[in-house]
Amino acid sequence: MIADETRLAIHGGTPAKQYPDPPMYPGGMAIDEEEEAAVLEVLRSKRLFRYYGPTPGPSKAEELEQAFAAAKGVGHALGVTSGTAALVCALHAIGVGPGDEVIIPAYTWIATATAVLAVGAVPIMAEVDESLLLDPTDFEAKISPYTKAVIAVHMRGAPCRMDAVIEAARRHGLKVVEDCAQANGATYQGREVGSWGDVGAYSLQFNKIVTSGEGGMVTTDSLELYQRAALFHDVNTSRHNLPEDKLLWGINFRMPELLAAVALVQMRKLGGLLDAMRARKRMLKAGMADVLAEKGLTFRTLHDEAGDAAIATILFMQTPQQAQAVSEALRAENIGAGVLYRPEARDYHIYAHWTPVMQQRAWSAGGNPWRWAQRPIEYRQDMCPRTLDLLGRAVHLNVSPLLSNEDVEETIEGVNRVLKALA
Ligand SMILES: Cc1ncc(COP(=O)(O)O)c(C=O)c1O
């Protein structure tokens, strides 16, 4: 599949890239004295809890919420403990519960599905298209009389076609949640992701573009939805200035002050990180475009190139075998490439590997969301064949903001060398 006569590293040649890729933790690798000072400030104040402590004034969590809402152009943001918690709050906010179905893309982190289960509803998986994002047509085809909402997931930094998703959702009277965990700072048609749907959910976990290690944010323009999310995230709902008869019970997803202090600094670094990743991705794509076209291969489709958070460059090969051979050859060139789906390698980003969900396992008989579903729900390994085909042919490259110009040039050289050698 890859010609032997070429001097590829996999055949004993010198790697095109001198050094392996830097670790792909954009915000995490940018942690410096600013985050240290922010954490120290909180520690020295001895106010580790957002709602009280020995020092008065607004909490870091509150400051973060204000900054986040302003950055996303929404009326309200709520700090929580994780992206999963943000999704659960979002689903409770819009009133999803037992008996409801929620459509999600077949390619997303399993937490999108388990958040749906956590509120007692069942996830229905829909195909992604060449953008590796929810296909609006298949989303519509998966709507049943019991569908309550759709979760559009902005995977690997790229914004979904929110106009099409929202148009279809509105026609069927569905609520729209945006899972923005992997796309902090992405925009669609100039508008921030997380501001299009009824509610947005962000993650600040360490793997994300900016991070406080763990953490999450809910975004919404609706005061009512914000209040419902806030009630659920804080068991002491009496804190939320609502009339007694409006209170609902909550649990505890409150954001700690130390995390909020780190996230506040990281949010100030987001723009610089995005600029750096976008510039590198532009160079990478421009440098690979000719060889890709020559070989009849394509990049992942982007619905809004300018709004892409640019954390990854994804190339489609013709077959899964080719994708695996190419990514192995690229790794030998010191380029951190990987295929997005291999049936034999468990990866919780693909529905086919979500065994506990696919087999409809429940924590308890009474608490089994599929039992409350209003029709029999059947999941099959091959129920989203297009998604599996696309992911199986997709070669993924990280775009670290730490790649030097030399790294970028060597990556282009390595990719072109490997692709040219393809039989
Ligand atoms: C698409 C997606 N949704 C949800 C989550 C859940 O976020 P967290 O890990 O902060 O709970 C993640 C990340 O882990 C994710 O990538």
Of 63, 25, 56, 54, nearest to 259 (Cα)?
63
The answer to whether residue 208 is catalytic is yes
The confidence score (pLDDT) of residue 332 equals 98
| Active-site residue (options: 208, 269, 281, 285) | 208
Cβ atoms 87, 112 nearer than 8 A: yes
pLDDT tens-digit series, residues 31-83? 999 999 999 999 999 999 999 999 887 899 999 999 999 999 999 999 999 99
* Cα(290)–Cα(300) distance, integer angstroms: 15
The confidence score (pLDDT) of residue 103 equals 98
Q: Look at residue 41 and tell me if it is in a domain.
A: yes
Q: Look at residue 421 and tell me if it is in a domain.
A: no
What's the 23 CA to ligand 1 centre distance in angstroms?
Answer: 19
The confidence score (pLDDT) of residue 3 equals 62
CA 216 to ligand 1: nearest atom: 10
Count of domains observed in the chain: 1
SS3 at position 418:
helix
Q: Look at residue 349 and tell me if it is in a domain.
A: no
The confidence score (pLDDT) of residue 6 equals 65
Contacts of 202 (CB under 8 A, 6+ apart): 68, 83, 86, 180, 181, 184, 194, 208, 216, 217, 218, 219
Q: Look at residue 69 and tell me if it is in a domain.
A: yes
Q: Look at residue 383 and tell me if it is in a domain.
A: no
Q: Residue 111: CB within 6 Å of ligand 1?
A: yes
* Cα(260)–Cα(252) distance, integer angstroms: 16
The confidence score (pLDDT) of residue 2 equals 66
pLDDT tens-digit series, residues 113-157? 999 999 999 999 999 999 999 999 999 999 999 999 999 999 999
Q: Residue 199: CB within 6 Å of ligand 1?
A: no
pLDDT tens-digit series, residues 286-311? 999 999 999 999 999 999 999 999 99
What's the 296 CA to ligand 1 centre distance in angstroms?
Answer: 34
Q: Look at residue 108 and tell me if it is in a domain.
A: yes
Q: Residue 184: CB within 6 Å of ligand 1?
A: no
Residue-number span of the structural domain to which 148 is assigned: 33-267
Q: Token pair 């986040």 is at which residue?
A: 68
- pTM over 0.85? The answer is yes
- In terms of DSSP bridges, do strands 147-153 and 175-179 run parallel, antiparallel, or are they unpaired? parallel
Q: Which of 155, 180, 182, 266 to mutate to test the pocket of ligand 1 (most atoms within 8 A of CB)?
A: 182
The confidence score (pLDDT) of residue 361 equals 97
CA 182 to ligand 1: nearest atom: 16
Asked whether residue 404 carries a pLDDT value surpassing 60, the answer given is yes
In this structure, what CATH number is given to the domain that contains residue 60? Answer: 3.40.640.10
Asked whether residue 4 carries a pLDDT value surpassing 70, the answer given is no
Q: Look at residue 367 and tell me if it is in a domain.
A: no
What's the 217 CA to ligand 1 centre distance in angstroms?
Answer: 11
Q: Look at residue 25 and tell me if it is in a domain.
A: no
